[in-house]
Amino acid sequence: MTENVLVTGGAGFIGANFLLRMVPKHPDARFVCLDRLTYAGNPMNLRAIEDAENFHFVQGNICDADLLADLFAEHGFTSVVHFAAESHVDRSIETPLAFARSNVEGTVALLEVARQAWPDDAAGAGDRPRFVHISTDEVFGSLGPEGAFSEETPYDPRSPYSASKAAADHFARSYFHTYGLPVV
């Protein structure tokens, strides 16, 4: 079976570097990059792979559930790598609602479309992670001069950005526990 991978936020710094490495390394897989191209995304980041046969770029918003459903239907995604996020702490202080919409509502829209597209996985039949949700260390708050965060570190968001990412993390985890969606 051909791997068809949806990469959200793939024109951003981290998402683009992921694609720049994975597209040439996996020529038999197909990669679709969905990015809204806000201040954080730049199509020039993808210049080196823009003509690759196994790469396709779509400009769009993860909050658009109809677009997501159309993309899932058209491409038959076998997995999602979800980088897309509003990610600037200072901007989140000025416009917290925009961060809640993108980071929380967008993540839930993506999770829900994936759940509907993969009913066997949602019933607990999936045997591998298919939805990779990317978070941030900001959800854990501030680290003192010593120590390190771990998976056991309690959440302690300190900005609207980190609160929105923490909420998205909790939704991703809830889709794993409630629906059996293979999310990591």
Task: Report the C-alpha gap between 94 and 160 in whole angstroms.
Answer: 9
CATH fold group of domain 4-179: Rossmann fold (3.40.50)
Question: Whole-model pTM?
Answer: 0.92
Place of tokens 């790469």: 55
- What is the domain partition of the chain in residue ranges? 4-179
User: Which one, of 49, 53, 38, lies nearest residue 91 by Cα?
Assistant: 38
Indicate if 179 belongs to the active site: no
pLDDT of residue 128: 63
pLDDT in tens, 3-34: 999 999 999 999 999 999 999 999 999 999 99
- Indicate whether 44 pLDDT > 90: yes
Contact criterion met (CB below 8 Å) for 156 and 136: no
Two tokens, residue 168: 């998205």
Out of 35, 86, 121, 138, the active site residue is 138
Which range is most confident: 21-30, 92-101, 150-159?
21-30
Out of 74, 94, 137, 156, the active site residue is 137
Task: Report the C-alpha gap between 134 and 98 in whole angstroms.
Answer: 19
Indicate if 138 belongs to the active site: yes
